[in-house]
Structure 1
Amino acid sequence: MSRQILIAMSAITVTAGFLVFFGTYFAYTVIIALYPLPDDDGWPTSIDFMILGVLILITLPIAAFVSLRLARRILKPLESLALSARQITAGDLTARATTGDRALGETAALIDDFNTMAQRLQDMAADMALWNATIAHELRTPLTILKGRLQGMIDGVFKPDERSLQGLILQVDGLARLVEDLRTVTLADSGHLELHIKPVRLASEIAQMAELIVHDLRANGFRLELDLADLVVEADATRIRQALLALVTNARRYAVRGTITIRLAEADGDVVLGVADEGPGLTPEMETRVFDPFARGDPARSREFGGNGLGLSVVRAIIEAHGGRLRYRRTPRSGALFEMIFAKTKRSLAAHEA
């Protein structure tokens, strides 16, 4: 590339010299034609061509020097970029390019973008390794229990009665939930989560779901309270029920016995569907990672109710697939409030019916 820059600069210098030289003579020829001078035909002589040659010989080294300096300034960061790209291709995700002279704005911006991309690749690789290790850990426990119980039945240690078989089914159900939650989060992250979007009357859907879960909540010491505005949104009703049930289950798992409130309202042009409990809420440390996969509050309560740490990640994936967002905040009574906010909606029932 440096040779190409040198040749280009030299060609430009020679061409510019000829253009200036002959352009000047052409201008003088026109002037002399209008205002003739004695004994002067207006054309360049051999001495003039000699002068032109000397000037070109003087300017060519200058052009070569300038072009080589420019080539070094341009090529140094590009060579660093090429080397870093080869290192990353070879598996070294820590490789980074150096910008060198930041006066070359476009080159410096290219290097910065490359380094940002490399950092994201490194972060993604680290997240994937952690993700795989965590999945393996989560699968190992129920699989170990299943294997131990089945081996015990084969060896005659455990009697294959109804209670033992029910316990095995619970472990299988836990594995099925884990696999389905992993599938949902992965599909959402890749943009391939299938949604069947249509106008949904949310209050009706929530009321029907509440009838199915209210007795289970009451048996666990909770009271379910509904505060529902009559709104219609464009959504996948099945996925919204899945997300809402996950939030209610999360409240049942970690909140103190009391009231769980499901509220549907319109705020600032958005439809907000929230689930609130009566405390104790999240710790400041947990607030920063509550939506991360496999993040858990109280491990003992997670084990008691079969939590796998993916519930809120699934909820976030579903809501973001709808173009909305999920947020957490504390209630005035220090309870936990999770709100599903649909950013794109949001026709009222009257407008839908009209």
Structure 2
Amino acid sequence: MMLRQGLSRQILLAMSAVTVIAGLLVFFGTYLAFSIIFYFSPWNEDENGLLTGTDFLVLSGLIFLALIMAAIASVRLARRILEPLESLAQSARRIKDGDLSARATPGDHSLGETAHLVADFNAMAQRLQDMAADVTLWNAMIAHELRTPLTILKGRLQGIIDGVFEPDECSLQSLILQVDSLARLVEDLRTVTLADSGHLDLHIEPIRLQDEIQNLTHVMEPELNAAGFQLTLDLDDIVVRADALRIRQALLALITNARRYAVRGTIEITLSEENQLAIICVSDEGPGLPSDLEPWAFEPFKRGAHAGFSEASGNGLGLSVVRAIVEAHGGTIKYRRSSKGGATFEISLRMPAP
């Protein structure tokens, strides 16, 4: 039977080695010691050439000492193996009881597979602790994001009931805006959650990115011009396999992000091919992301605190939604400073093989 790899193989080999070493130690150690004692002893053999009772007592004593030494060696080796496993079991029970800070100790690092097992367990425990912390943070952030529109809705509706506000078109439009804010937050949360769990539905088909970008910017251009922005396009004719609706959603989020945070000026969108990748870049003229935000730009609920990156702007999910959509397509998204000192978001999508 072939030996299984991993920890079971290590324990089996170790115990087999202990058994073999103990047997050899008892046999050869006893034989050597008894031979020396027998050679120099005043008693050798009886007249029939057999061992005397004294010889048997000496031999028995030597075998007993050899067995004690073998047992000590076995216990020490077994302890080296079992201590980290016991620590692993205790830590697993603590985690089961809700203590996610529990960690196992590797003990003797010379036992490679045992040390790897403990390291993997500790990494798993750390990931569970991080996930629990993320869930707590998400719950707090979601509650914070929902509180403002719900408070406004409740106040407005109560005011209409009490006769403080007239239920005219302006008041109702304001309520609709708050409902839209809630619906957008829920949809963004749904997109990010589905993408992270690998369940974001995509309708993949060949699409011309040039046409999709042009159609989107044609719709957004009047709003951007009214806000003081100019759109410039430099688009190659590239076909990729993607979900057109999701790609437009990602681009819309990036353009909206630039309109919301960038200084008035030019928003440039380019589309090019590089190493069988379709590269979409959305650039503005500044100020770009705060330096402390750059490493966390695509994490949920991460927002800056200066130069327009205010707590009240957006829901903190825009860039994380873009990342979720791009990664669901097997692509990547990166942030860098633009040549004009602003922000450049670069989306890379694989092109179909020629």
Same fold (TM over 0.5): yes
Does 2:113 align with 1:113?
no
Residues 161 and 302 from structure 1, CA distance in 2 versus in 1: closer, same or farther, beyond 3 angstroms? farther
For 2:200 and 2:294, how far apart are their aligned partners in 1? 26
Counterpart for residue 131 of structure 1: 138
Does 2:302 align with 1:295?
yes
Counterpart for residue 351 of structure 2: 345
Q: After superposition, what is the alpha-carbon deviation per residue over 1:295-322, rounded to whole angstroms, capped at 9, x for unaligned?
A: 2246895789962111101000000111
For 1:6 and 1:303, how far apart are their aligned partners in 2? 62
Counterpart for residue 313 of structure 1: 320
8 A contact 1:254–1:297 mirrored in 2: no
Counterpart for residue 144 of structure 1: 151
Does 2:177 align with 1:170?
yes
CA positional deviation for 1:6: 11
SS at match of 2:296: coil
Give the alignment partner of residue 101 of structure 1, picking from 85, 102, 108.
Answer: 108
Counterpart for residue 334 of structure 1: 341
User: What is the Cα-based RMSD across aligned positions, in Å?
Assistant: 3.0
Give the alignment partner of residue 60 of structure 1, picking from 67, 71, 94.
Answer: 67
Counterpart for residue 238 of structure 1: 245
CA positional deviation for 1:12: 5.1
Counterpart for residue 37 of structure 1: none
SS at match of 2:282: strand
Counterparts of residues 198-213 of structure 1 (less than 5 Å): 198-213=205-220
**Which residue type is aligned with residue 318 of structure 1?**
I
8 A contact 2:289–2:343 mirrored in 1: yes
The percentage of counterpart residues that share the same residue type is 62
For 1:233 and 1:188, how far apart are their aligned partners in 2? 20
Counterpart for residue 204 of structure 2: 197
Does 2:270 align with 1:263?
yes
For 1:328 and 1:66, how far apart are their aligned partners in 2? 59
For 1:13 and 1:301, how far apart are their aligned partners in 2? 74
Moved more, 293-302 or 56-65: 293-302
8 A contact 1:189–1:317 mirrored in 2: yes
Q: After superposition, what is the alpha-carbon deviation per residue over 1:64-117, rounded to whole angstroms, capped at 9, x for unaligned?
A: 111111111111111111111100100001111111221211111111111111
**Which residue type is aligned with residue 296 of structure 2?**
R
For 1:209 and 1:6, how far apart are their aligned partners in 2? 67
Q: TM-score, normalised by structure 2?
A: 0.82
SS at match of 1:165: helix
Does 2:95 align with 1:88?
yes
Aligned length: 320
Counterpart for residue 252 of structure 1: 259
8 A contact 1:231–1:346 mirrored in 2: no
8 A contact 2:26–2:67 mirrored in 1: no
Residues 175 and 14 from structure 1, CA distance in 2 versus in 1: closer, same or farther, beyond 3 angstroms? closer
For 1:9 and 1:260, how far apart are their aligned partners in 2? 71
Residues 165 and 60 from structure 1, CA distance in 2 versus in 1: closer, same or farther, beyond 3 angstroms? same
Q: TM-score, normalised by structure 1?
A: 0.82
**Which residue type is aligned with residue 259 of structure 1?**
T
Moved more, 163-172 or 278-287: 278-287
For 1:320 and 1:123, how far apart are their aligned partners in 2? 21
For 1:284 and 1:6, how far apart are their aligned partners in 2? 54
For 1:304 and 1:84, how far apart are their aligned partners in 2? 40
**Which residue type is aligned with residue 345 of structure 1?**
M
SS at match of 1:285: coil
